[in-house]
Amino acid sequence: MSQNVTLIATAAMGLEAIVGKEVKALGYEDVQVENGRVFFEADVSAIPRANLWLRTADRVKLQVGRFKATSFDQLFEQTKALPWEDFIAEEGEFPVVGKSVKSKLYSVPDCQSIVKKAIVERLKVKHGATSWLKETGALHRVEVAIHKDEALLTLDTSGSGLHKRGYRVGQGEAPLKETLAAALVQITNWHPDHPFVDPFCGSGTIAIEAALIGQNIAPGFNREFASEDWHFIPQQAWEDAFQEAEEAANYDQPLNIVGSDIDPELIDISKKNAMEAGLGDLISWKQMQISDFNPKQDNGYVVSNPPYGERMGEREEVEQMYRDLGTIMRDHPSWSIYVLTSHEGFEKLYGKPATKRRKLFNGFIKTDYYQYFGKHVKAKPTSGKGFSV
């Protein structure tokens, strides 16, 4: 089979451009950004690399085919015409999931079973199977996604979503997804030489993602991926990708990262999560309420996801926290402040319009990312190492 594949890095709404940038930073050139997806052409060795390195993508999928289908017959025949045997070995397990939006073929269960039947027919012939396919081997989750009568057939190379880095052993009430936390850090121009603080750190996600970025540690280094056992990806490609990640990590990069929170239990959880992420005591954790925050250095970054005040009875308290943050930061004009919240009155409470705002979804919650650029921030030094973006 050909060694080249079309891969799709899926992205949460609003993060597509950041995922696209990450894909390019890995060295892939033919990158196309669509709603929720970033397509790129690459050698199969990109499957291990993309899974290991993409910090802000949800999953990496492999495109098996894309075609127009307005009848079940068309869906069946065109699915059967695709080279499934190149990707699914005779023993491979291949459950089919599906979705359909604004399309003639709207019955998802029917689409799934037609796709399943077409793949079974194709594989039986191509693998010369005499009886039924046992499906006792590696898992290949097939997805049929139909949008405006165009079917996209993919295999999920990641397994569990890429936000599952493997370090979260505990969490608070409203933890950020690791992929979004990494995006919040990447949107800033923070460089690890500068102080970094999350004063509402909860279970520590933003600070941990910043540390992984700061030392150029591949976010997927401590987990497994569904495609590790796929027959058409040489084992060497996985070994090379892990080796490359090991060499690119800059464990000597000093970090100046602090996570603090009013809740001491969350500080304990953050410590455990950071330990699990292999960061040891690289991050300083501190139990502290926001009104006691008092930066001692210059040119630092606050990147945070405070409470939004959406719950009954907490609004006033939360609004006071935003005011406190604004009052404190007024005396530190060299600091850059980045706050994600759904509270539309944030800028007023903080006391200043943001330099820049960006709409982002935190799960299903519509939020804004308020960005205040510090006055004396030096230009970000360019790093010769790794793939940091």
Ligand X SMILES: C[S@@+](CC[C@H](N)C(=O)[O-])C[C@H]1O[C@@H](n2cnc3c(N)ncnc32)[C@H](O)[C@@H]1O
Chain residues binding ligand X by CB under 6 A are 172, 174-176, 199-200, 202-203, 205-206, 261-263, 266, 289-290, 305-307, 321
The answer to whether the beta carbons of residues 198 and 260 sit under 8 Å apart is yes
Nearer to ligand X, 200 or 230 (CB): 200
Nearer to ligand X, 200 or 372 (CB): 200
Alpha carbon distance 325, 379 (integer Å): 25
Nearer to ligand X, 220 or 307 (CB): 307
Q: Supply 154's token pair.
A: 């993919």
Nearest distance, CB of residue 291 and ligand X, angstroms: 7
Q: Supply 334's token pair.
A: 């060299």
Q: Supply 26's token pair.
A: 């890995």
Nearest distance, CB of residue 23 and ligand X, angstroms: 25
Q: Supply 215's token pair.
A: 């030392």
Q: Supply 58's token pair.
A: 């949800």
Tell how strand 96-101 and strand 31-34 pair up. unpaired
The answer to whether the beta carbons of residues 167 and 273 sit under 8 Å apart is yes
Nearer to ligand X, 185 or 266 (CB): 266
Q: Is 278 helix (H, G, I), strand (E, B) or coil?
A: coil
Nearer to ligand X, 139 or 174 (CB): 174
Nearest distance, CB of residue 263 and ligand X, angstroms: 4
Alpha carbon distance 267, 285 (integer Å): 6
Nearer to ligand X, 88 or 182 (CB): 182
Q: Which of 240, 230, 95 is nearest to 158 (CA)?
A: 230
Alpha carbon distance 32, 40 (integer Å): 6
Q: How far is CA 77 from CA 183, 243, 374, in A?
A: 41, 42, 59
For 223-254, the DSSP string reads: S--GGGG-TTS-HHHHHHHHHHHHHH--TT--
Return the residue nearest ligand X (CB atom): 202
Nearest distance, CB of residue 266 and ligand X, angstroms: 5
Nearest distance, CB of residue 217 and ligand X, angstroms: 18
Q: Which of 147, 77, 72 is nearest to 111 (CA)?
A: 72
Nearer to ligand X, 88 or 206 (CB): 206
Nearest distance, CB of residue 59 and ligand X, angstroms: 20
Nearer to ligand X, 217 or 321 (CB): 321
Tell how strand 37-43 and strand 4-10 pair up. antiparallel
Nearest distance, CB of residue 174 and ligand X, angstroms: 4
Nearest distance, CB of residue 160 and ligand X, angstroms: 18
